[in-house]
Amino acid sequence: MKRFFVLMMSFFAVGGCGGGGSTPRPPSPLTVYIALGDSVSASPNVNPNVVESWPFLLGTKINATSVQDLAVNSATIETVLGQEIPQISPAATLVTLMVGANDFARMAPSTDMSEFRLKYQQALVSIHTRVPAARIVLVNEVNVTFLPCCSAQQFAPLGPTFIAGNRAIDSFYPQYTVVDIACNPGSYNPSFYPQSDVHPNQAGHDQLASLVYEYLLGNGAAPQTTCPPYMQ
* Amino acid 17: pLDDT: 37
Q: Does residue 11 fall inside a structural domain?
A: no
pLDDT at 25 over 60: no
Q: Does residue 2 fall inside a structural domain?
A: no
What is the number of structural domains in the chain?
A: 1
Q: Does residue 75 fall inside a structural domain?
A: yes
Q: Provide the mean pLDDT of the chain.
A: 87
* Amino acid 227: pLDDT: 96
Q: Does residue 140 fall inside a structural domain?
A: yes
* Amino acid 42: pLDDT: 85
Q: Does residue 209 fall inside a structural domain?
A: yes
Structural domain boundaries enclosing 88: 25-216
Residue-wise pLDDT tens digits, 119-151 = 999 999 999 999 999 999 999 999 999 998 888
pLDDT at 19 over 70: no
Q: Does residue 4 fall inside a structural domain?
A: no
Q: Does residue 228 fall inside a structural domain?
A: no
Residue-wise pLDDT tens digits, 86-109 = 999 999 999 999 999 999 999 999
* Amino acid 195: pLDDT: 81
Q: What is the pTM of this model?
A: 0.87
Domain of residue 75, CATH code: 3.40.50.1110
Residue-wise pLDDT tens digits, 172-213 = 999 999 999 999 999 999 999 988 888 899 999 999 999 999
Percent above pLDDT 70 for the chain: 85
One-letter-per-residue 3-state SS of the chain? CHHHHHHHHHHHCCCCCCCCCCCCCCCCCCCEEEEEECCCCCHHHCCCCCCCCHHHHHHHHCCCCEEEECCCCCCCHHHHHHHHHHHCCCCCCEEEEECCHHHHHHHCCCCCCHHHHHHHHHHHHHHHHHCCCCEEEEECCCCHHHCHHHCCHHHCCHHHHHHHHHHHHHCCCCCCEEECCCCCHHHHCHHHCCCCCCCCCHHHHHHHHHHHHHHHCCCCCCCCCCECCCEC
pLDDT at 6 over 50: no
Q: Does residue 20 fall inside a structural domain?
A: no
pLDDT at 30 over 80: yes
